[in-house]
Structure 1
Amino acid sequence: MDKPIKIALFGIGKMGQNHLRILSMLKDVEIAFLYDTNQELCQVMSERFGVKILKDIDEDLKSCDGAIIVTPTFTHFDYINKVSDYVKNIFVEKPLTNTLESTQIILTLAKEKSLNIQVGFIERYNPAVLTLKNILTPNTHKIINIDFIRTNKMSSRITDCDVVIDLMIHDIDLALNFNGDVRDIYAHGVVINDMIEYARACIIHTNGSFSNIVASRITEKRRRQISITTNNEYIDCNLLRKEVFVDKQSVEQRLDNVSISANTETIEVRGQESLLSELIDFVSLCKNVPSSLSANRPNQNDGMKAMRIAHQIQDIIHNANR
C-alpha cells in the first residue's frame, strides 16, 4: 500500500473546517498539521480530529507533500510565498490572491519553483456543471448565450472583498471555461460603503458567444443558476439542487399546418460532493497521477484570467459610480 499523502492545512474557519472534514474521510491522506491564527479554535480542531498543530513552519513542512490554504484572501500571497519553500503542491481557495499584481508574482514564482497550484474554483467540480460539460460537446452544440445568477445575502459576512471577488469570480471562471477568451465587457452595479454588493456584467467572447453574470450580496434569496441558449437547445441548471433540464423544440407536420411543441428532458445528475471531488483531484496532483477530472483542474493561469476579468468589472462599476 502506498504511503498516505501528507497535507498541511492553513485556515480552519468555516470553509477550512469543511476541508478538514473531507480530508479526514480520505484514506490515502494524512492531515499532518493544521494552523490558524485563532489558537483556541486550532486547539479545539486539533483535539477533535487528532491532528498536530503546526508549530514551526520551517521544520514541520519539510515532511509534507502538499499544503491547502483556506485563509482570508488578503493573506493568500504570504502563505503561498512561505509554503512554496517546502512543498510544490499547493491548493489555494479562490481567488488566488487579492490583487492583480500579487497574482502575477505568484505566476512567476510558480514558474521559477515548478509549483503545482490548484485554485479553488469549486463549481468546476459541481456534478451539475460536469453534466453540462458532457452535454455541450462542440460538434453538436454552439453556445449563443449563458446566463449566470449567484445571490447570497449571507455572504455579506465576508468583509475583505466585494461581491465580484467573493461570488461573481466563480461564474467568471465558468464563463471562460465554457466560452473562452474575452473581447469586450460591459458592467454596472450597486456600491455600498465603497464596496460593490451587486454586480451585473455582460461578457462578449472572441468566439461570438455571450456570458451575462449577476452576483448579489443584497438579494434576500439564495440562488445558483445557469441558463444556456444554444443553436438547438435551451438548458437550465440549478447548481444548488443539482438539477439539469433540457428544452428542445420539435416540429410536427399536420396537413397544411405546422405545430411546434417543446419537449423538456430532465437529465439525471449523479456525482459526489463538489468539495470531495475537488480535494480528491488535489490528492491526484500531489501523487502526480492523472484523474478523470485533472484535465479541467483550475491552475494559477486560470486564477489570473478570472482575476483580470474581475478587476476590469470592478473598474467599470466603480468608475460609473463616482
Structure 2
Amino acid sequence: MSNVVKIGLLGVGKMGQNHLRNLAMLKQVEIGFIYDFDKDLCEQLSTQYNVPVSENLEKDLQTIDGVVIVTPTFTHADYIKQVSKYVKNIFVEKPLTDTLESSIEIVKLAKENNLNIQVGFIERYNSAVVALEKVIRNSSHIINIDFSRTNKVSSRITDVDVVIDLMIHDLDLALHINGKPKKIEAHGYINDNMIEYARAIITHENGSFSNVVASRITEKRIRHISATCDDMYIDCNLLSKEVFVNKQTIEQYLENVSISSKEETIDVRPQEGLLLELVDFVKLCNGESVNVPNEDDGLLAMEVANEIQKQIMEAK
C-alpha cells in the first residue's frame, strides 16, 4: 500500500484550484501547504479545504515529499530551482519553462540532482487519447495524424503565444506517438508581435507526419485528432470523448466485389485526466516506477515549439 505523501501546492489561480480540488480527493495525499502571492485567495481556500498557507516557503519546502507548481509559465524555471534544493519530486504544469534556454538548464539541473520531474501534459491522460493510442498501436503503419486545437478564450493569456499556450499539448502528443522529428515546416499569423495562429507539419524519423494547428482567433472551441493509417482512419473528439474507427470491408454481391467502409465506435469511459496524472505523481513520490511525461519530454516539445516560433517570426 502506498504511503501518505505530503504535497505542497504553488499557485492557486484557476488551474491551481483544479489541482487543489483533486489533491483533496486523494486519500493518500496530505496537502502540506498552499502558496500564492494572492494572500486573500489563499486564506479563502485555506478555510474551504482546511489546509495551511505557507508564510515561509523555504522553511515549508523542507517538510514535504513533493511539490506541484501551477504558477505563470515565466516563473516555472525559478520555482523549480528553488524547490529542487529541498524536494526531489516536482510536478510542473506544461510547459516545462517559457524558453528553450531555461528548459535546457532545468533538464541539466534534474540530471545533476536526480530529480523526478513530471510535466503536466494532461492530454496524455484524456480518455479519448488513451483509446486512440490503443487503436493506433494495432495499426501496421501510421501515415499522418492531424491535430487541431482552438480556443478564443485563451487569447486572454498574454505572457505566452499560441504555440506555448495551446499547441504545446499536441506537440507532446505528436512526439509521444510518432517519435522524434526529422523536419519541421511552420506558418502562422502574428498580432501585436504575438503568434495567435500556428500551423506546423512535422516529418518524424519514423516516416510518419503530424499536421498540428493551434489558434486563439478561431470563434469555436476545438480539440480534435484524426489519424490516417494504411489500414484504418481514426476520428477522435477530445471534448465529447468520442472515438470512431473506419476500416474497409469487402462484401461480395454475386460476381461483383463492392468495397465499403465500416465505422466502429470505441467505448470511452469518462475519467478526469488531472486526477489520473496526480495519482501518477503520488506514485512517483512513493518511489514507484511510473511512465509519466518528464523533463526530457518537456524539453523535446520546447525544442519543436521553438523551431515553429522561429520560422513563423522570421517569415513576418
TM over 0.5: yes
Aligned residue in 1 for 2:265: 266
Separation in 2 of the partners of 1:68 and 1:284?
Answer: 14
The alpha-carbon deviation at position 2 of structure 1 amounts to 5.8
Separation in 2 of the partners of 1:210 and 1:3?
Answer: 43
- Cα gap change, 1:2/1:314 in structure 2, threshold over 3 Å: closer, same or farther? closer
Separation in 2 of the partners of 1:126 and 1:310?
Answer: 22
Q: Give yes or no for the alignment of 1:306 onto 2:281.
A: no
Separation in 2 of the partners of 1:233 and 1:3?
Answer: 44
> C-alpha offsets along residues 45-95 of structure 1, whole Å, 9 cap, x if unaligned?
111111111111221111100000000000001100001111100000011
Separation in 2 of the partners of 1:271 and 1:154?
Answer: 24
Q: How does 1:86-235 map to 2 (within 5 A)?
A: 86-137=86-137, 140-235=139-234
Q: TM-score of the superposition, structure 1-length normalised?
A: 0.96
Q: Specify the code of the residue in structure 2 equivalent to 1:75.
A: T
Separation in 2 of the partners of 1:50 and 1:220?
Answer: 40
Secondary structure (helix, strand or coil) at the match of 1:37 reads coil
Separation in 2 of the partners of 1:111 and 1:260?
Answer: 54
Separation in 2 of the partners of 1:278 and 1:141?
Answer: 29
The alpha-carbon deviation at position 29 of structure 1 amounts to 0.2
Q: Give yes or no for the alignment of 1:251 onto 2:246.
A: no
Separation in 2 of the partners of 1:78 and 1:101?
Answer: 13
Q: Specify the code of the residue in structure 1 equivalent to 2:297.
A: D
Q: Specify the code of the residue in structure 2 equivalent to 1:312.
A: E
Separation in 2 of the partners of 1:246 and 1:270?
Answer: 16
Q: Specify the code of the residue in structure 1 equivalent to 2:293.
A: P
Aligned residue in 2 for 1:32: 32
Separation in 2 of the partners of 1:257 and 1:119?
Answer: 55
The alpha-carbon deviation at position 261 of structure 1 amounts to 1.1
Separation in 1 of the partners of 2:282 and 2:3?
Answer: 12
Separation in 2 of the partners of 1:271 and 1:120?
Answer: 19
Separation in 2 of the partners of 1:2 and 1:15?
Answer: 26
Secondary structure (helix, strand or coil) at the match of 1:53 reads coil
Aligned residue in 1 for 2:79: 79
Separation in 2 of the partners of 1:87 and 1:249?
Answer: 53
The count of aligned residue pairs is: 316
The alpha-carbon deviation at position 258 of structure 1 amounts to 2.1
Aligned residue in 2 for 1:320: 315
Secondary structure (helix, strand or coil) at the match of 2:195 reads strand
Q: Specify the code of the residue in structure 1 equivalent to 2:220.
A: K
Secondary structure (helix, strand or coil) at the match of 1:22 reads helix
Separation in 2 of the partners of 1:3 and 1:302?
Answer: 28
Secondary structure (helix, strand or coil) at the match of 2:173 reads helix
The alpha-carbon deviation at position 3 of structure 1 amounts to 4.5
Aligned CA-pair RMSD? 1.1
CA contact (8 A) 2:245 2:264 kept: yes
CA contact (8 A) 2:2 2:286 kept: no
Separation in 2 of the partners of 1:289 and 1:3?
Answer: 11
Q: Give yes or no for the alignment of 1:63 onto 2:58.
A: no
Separation in 2 of the partners of 1:300 and 1:289?
Answer: 18
Separation in 1 of the partners of 2:11 and 2:196?
Answer: 25
Q: TM-score of the superposition, structure 2-length normalised?
A: 0.98
- Cα gap change, 1:2/1:184 in structure 2, threshold over 3 Å: closer, same or farther? closer
Q: Specify the code of the residue in structure 2 equivalent to 1:124.
A: R
**Mind listing any 5+ residue stretches in structure 2 that lack a counterpart?**
none
Aligned residue in 2 for 1:236: 235
Q: Specify the code of the residue in structure 2 equivalent to 1:105.
A: E
Q: Specify the code of the residue in structure 2 equivalent to 1:142.
A: H
- Cα gap change, 1:73/1:254 in structure 2, threshold over 3 Å: closer, same or farther? same
Separation in 2 of the partners of 1:79 and 1:264?
Answer: 48
